[in-house]
Structure 1
Amino acid sequence: MKGLLERLKEGPVVGDGSMCMTLEKRGYCRAGQWTPEAVLEYPDAVKQLLREYLRAGADVLQTPCYASSDGRLKRGRITYKTAEINEAACDLAYEVAQEGDALVCGGITPVLSYLQNKGEEAIREEFNGQLDVFIKRRNNVDFILGEFFGHIEELEICVDVMKKAKMPIACTMRIGALGDLNGVSVEECAVRMAKTGADLIGLNCLFDLNATLKTLKRMKNALDAEGITTPLMCQPLGFMCPEVEHTTNGYSGLPENPLAQDPRQVTRFEVHKFAREAYNLGARYIGGCCGMEPHHIRAIAQELAPERNRNPPVQDMCPPCGLLDRSSISTIQKKVDMEFWMKVKPGSGRPYNPPCVKVAHVNRF
């Protein structure tokens, strides 16, 4: 099986999508805690979601262990330890990945030790607690990803810790137009991320498709100006939220967050457009984060099929526009071309609701 770096040289790599948020909607994760004990308590549910991403066309399945660090588990009053959650997450991701041609990515997330100013030794220890399982299971893990970082300083420490795994390293930040939470600009963050030596750098979560494209472009311009060729990745939010584009909180500042965002969810055709524009900007790893469901990942795989030289496994049942000409409803029969769906402007069906809301400017991180 070809590894991450080999695949990146051959064409775009498609990542998977939302785990904790999607599992919460299905009844297997607690909103608020967002901790991944489902890998131990409901492994079949987790495997099914991973399997849906694989079938949608994902080249990578990430270990479903977001927020599995000692500090975050204690805050969530979870009795399981980081090691046992990460081991179970490795087993589930590897088992499903073997059903196709997918890589397994070991996921590492920010730690409370950094926010609590406990010092670099404590920060490194908490990162090591997440990483050690992936090193132990190196035969089942193909590369590691540090994701959802709001501070470039913390990310730099994390990448330095991850280097001991001697695997390909990817890292992403949850930043938008204003840069990181310490005020470090998008451009400086991009250059510093690349200078960590990570093999793949980029963005994930908090901001929508349009905001992500704008930030991605600024990152690419900054890297080009420095002559840096590190490949870019992006795994954006699956909700439209233009009113938070110029905040540091992103969608977490919305009053609907996290339990009433359904009307904001992007359509598969908006994801088609995003995938093409992200690829044209230089992104070579494109997946999704909170709110990006299997059908969204399928849209990415279908949009980039020419560059990947293959269709996703689901193509027999779900071609991009379905088989609408075979419908028994005449008005549906006519909607068989992509041009119609790419131009359609979906309504919410709620006549008295505003298109946007007043943002709650609360820094939760």
Structure 2
Amino acid sequence: MAPKKGLLQRLDEGVVIGDGGFVFALEKRGFVKAGPWTPEATVEHPEAVRQLHREFLRCGADVMQAFTFYASDDKLSNRGNESSKKYTCRGINDAACRIAREVANEGDALVAGGLSQTPTYLSGIGKEATQAEFKKQVDVFVENKVDFLIAEYFEHLEEMEWAIESCCKSGLPVVATMCIGPEGDLHNNSAGECAVRMAKAGAHVVGLNCHFDPFVLLEAMKKMKVALDEAKLKVHMISQPLGFMTPDASKQGFIDLPEFPFALEPRICTRFDMHRYAREAYELGIRYIGGCCGFESYHIRAIAEELEKERGSLPLSSEKHETWGKGLKMHTKPWVRARASRQYWEQLKPSSGRPYCATMSKPDNWGITAGHELLKQKTQETSEVEIQTLQALKTKK
């Protein structure tokens, strides 16, 4: 059997489709705890992680990204419960790599090891301590012979540069994605500057992931492309947005929305939104196209179906799904059969189904340093309400 083509060769020759969002998908399924968002499921419930990989593979993903989000020792130790003592960076990352490789070998997929922002950086301990946390993960990835590395979900450009440096020491291709939007990072570095500095730090593929919907993220990607072109830097681009619509989100994206994280379902993108996203990303010159939180396997299938001509094939999952609803021609109801067309689904404006539901939300707009004060204020307000409620109950008795 011929060896698999590597990431950079695939990007030079065509399109690479990423996978979707493991953290949110597994939280909904009961395998990840919201708040910590750490991936103990790779050890506790490997079958759940394995099945999700298989769903993405069947729907056209070319990459099985090991479920190692927030799997650094400093993040695991911050969980504040007994289970955090059971698992280590090495144990979780090793299990995640083995599961991803097992499924990747069932197809023509590559395995990526991913690392993300750390509590060590946010604590201000410094570069050496932060990179020590990165090194623990990178060492496990190298031992497991992953095909490339992804430094993802960074809000601070400085920490991203430190992560890229750590990844580059492995000798593997390095992908770098920040979770920022058109306004730039949390230290007011523009999206364009972030792209340029990521490329200069050594990343082979640069772009964005998470925090914003496909179309908001593409606006930021346009700024990145302009800056890279002006700097004459030749790197590939990657986009892995949310599967939720966030036109009303502020600088920190969906985490500022009041629906985060348990009431985001009314915002889920349709498969037809993903057709549009895939086409616009491709036309922008992005060749690594995938998704993050909220992306389910059918979203990835929509990307693969939209890019069928560019890729030369359809995913296995399309055996049970005809593009643009053509399978509805076999429906028993004539008005449903009438929906078996691209024109119908492209023109549809989906309803939320919720009477009097607001079109947009009012983001919390938590600042970098204002968070603790806002939390204190909200806690105080809640306490006052509780006191008033107790007093009312006593009076009633």
TM-score bin, normalised by smaller chain: over 0.9
Are the counterparts in 1 of residues 244 and 294 from structure 2 also a CA contact under 8 Å?
Answer: yes
Q: Is 1:92 matched up with 2:99?
A: yes
Q: Is 1:201 matched up with 2:209?
A: no
- Determine which of 358, 362, 370 is the counterpart of 1:358: 362
Measured against aligned partners, the alpha-carbon deviations of 1:101-130 in whole angstroms (never above 9, x if no partner) come to 100010111111111110111011011111
- Determine which of 191, 198, 206 is the counterpart of 2:196: 191
Are the counterparts in 2 of residues 235 and 287 from structure 1 also a CA contact under 8 Å?
Answer: yes
Are the counterparts in 2 of residues 302 and 312 from structure 1 also a CA contact under 8 Å?
Answer: yes
Measured against aligned partners, the alpha-carbon deviations of 1:251-274 in whole angstroms (never above 9, x if no partner) come to 000111000100000000001001
Q: Which runs of 5+ in 2 are unaligned?
A: 372-397
Give, in whole Å, the separation in 2 of the partners of 1:209 and 1:318.
Answer: 23
- Determine which of 52, 57, 63 is the counterpart of 2:55: 52
Q: Secondary structure at the match of 1:223?
A: helix
Give, in whole Å, the separation in 2 of the partners of 1:313 and 1:334.
Answer: 26
Give, in whole Å, the separation in 1 of the partners of 2:158 and 2:255.
Answer: 22
Length, aligned pairs only: 361
Query: More deviation in 248-257 or 331-340?
Result: 331-340
- Determine which of 151, 172, 176 is the counterpart of 1:171: 176
Superposed displacement of residue 22, structure 1: 0.3
- Determine which of 273, 276, 280 is the counterpart of 1:277: 280
Counterpart position of 2:39: 36
Q: Secondary structure at the match of 1:170?
A: strand
Superposed displacement of residue 322, structure 1: 4.7
Q: Which has the higher contact order (CA 8 A, sep 6+)?
A: 1
Are the counterparts in 2 of residues 149 and 172 from structure 1 also a CA contact under 8 Å?
Answer: yes
Are the counterparts in 2 of residues 108 and 145 from structure 1 also a CA contact under 8 Å?
Answer: yes
Measured against aligned partners, the alpha-carbon deviations of 1:57-78 in whole angstroms (never above 9, x if no partner) come to 0000100110001111111131
Residue 109 of structure 1 aligns to which amino acid in structure 2?
S
State the identity %: 47
Give, in whole Å, the separation in 2 of the partners of 1:359 and 1:168.
Answer: 37
Give, in whole Å, the separation in 2 of the partners of 1:92 and 1:187.
Answer: 36
Q: Secondary structure at the match of 1:5?
A: helix
Counterpart position of 2:136: 129
Give, in whole Å, the separation in 1 of the partners of 2:181 and 2:311.
Answer: 29
- Determine which of 20, 23, 28 is the counterpart of 1:20: 23
Look at both structures and tell me which one has the larger radius of gyration over its CA atoms. Answer: 2
Residue 34 of structure 2 aligns to which amino acid in structure 1?
A
Give, in whole Å, the separation in 2 of the partners of 1:275 and 1:46.
Answer: 25
Residue 254 of structure 2 aligns to which amino acid in structure 1?
Y
Q: Is 1:151 matched up with 2:156?
A: yes
Counterpart position of 1:224: 229
Q: Give the TM-score normalised by structure 1.
A: 0.97
Give, in whole Å, the separation in 1 of the partners of 2:202 and 2:136.
Answer: 22
Q: Is 1:324 matched up with 2:331?
A: no
Counterpart position of 2:376: none
Counterpart position of 2:126: 119
Counterpart position of 2:186: 181
Are the counterparts in 2 of residues 97 and 104 from structure 1 also a CA contact under 8 Å?
Answer: yes
Counterpart position of 2:377: none
Residue 160 of structure 1 aligns to which amino acid in structure 2?
E
Are the counterparts in 1 of residues 182 and 223 from structure 2 also a CA contact under 8 Å?
Answer: no
Superposed displacement of residue 277, structure 1: 0.3
Counterpart position of 1:233: 238
Are the counterparts in 2 of residues 211 and 242 from structure 1 also a CA contact under 8 Å?
Answer: yes
Counterpart position of 2:338: 334
- Determine which of 245, 250, 258 is the counterpart of 2:253: 250
Counterpart position of 2:293: 290
Q: Which runs of 5+ in 1 are unaligned?
A: none
Residue 156 of structure 1 aligns to which amino acid in structure 2?
E
Query: More deviation in 57-66 or 316-325?
Result: 316-325
Give, in whole Å, the separation in 1 of the partners of 2:217 and 2:358.
Answer: 23
Residue 144 of structure 1 aligns to which amino acid in structure 2?
L
Query: More deviation in 4-13 or 321-330?
Result: 321-330
- Following TM superposition, the consecutive aligned residue runs of length 4 or more in structure 1 with deviations greater than 2 angstroms are none
Q: Give the TM-score normalised by structure 2.
A: 0.89
Q: Secondary structure at the match of 1:145?
A: strand
Q: Is 1:346 matched up with 2:350?
A: yes
Give, in whole Å, the separation in 1 of the partners of 2:288 and 2:346.
Answer: 23
Residue 204 of structure 1 aligns to which amino acid in structure 2?
N
Are the counterparts in 1 of residues 248 and 361 from structure 2 also a CA contact under 8 Å?
Answer: yes
